[in-house]
Amino acid sequence: MAIPIRFRTPDFRWFRTSLFLAQGGSVVVPIIHAVILYGLNVCYNIIAFKWMLSTILIYFVGAIIYGARVPEKLSPGSFDIWGSSHQIFHVFVVLACICNYY
């Protein structure tokens, strides 16, 4: 979504964030389907349900931090090089990937 120039503007930040959340949230349907088919106990113990839920939660928190521009908004100019919401977002993506690995 960042290829067209108009979507790179700050006006579309929440639109880009919602697309990321929709992509990450698309895993909810297969999870619900697995719970219906196999039951919550099997999903939790065998299919690594807790890691899937952890991944979803981490993606969600990272996307909200990115969309809200939390550090930059609280202290403008202090996070121009280190600690910007975009960098924090990428840290959360890496953490979610680690959860997917396990």
Count of beta carbons in the 10 Å neighbourhood of residue 33 = 10
Instruction: Please give the model's pTM, rounded to 2 decimal places.
Output: 0.76
pLDDT score, position 38: 92
90 is in an annotated binding site: yes
Cβ atoms of residues 66 and 25 within 8 Å: no
- The predicted-structure confidence for 2-48, as pLDDT tens digits, reads as follows 567 887 788 888 888 888 888 878 888 888 899 999 998 888 888 78
Tell me how far the alpha carbon of residue 60 is from its chain's centroid.
4
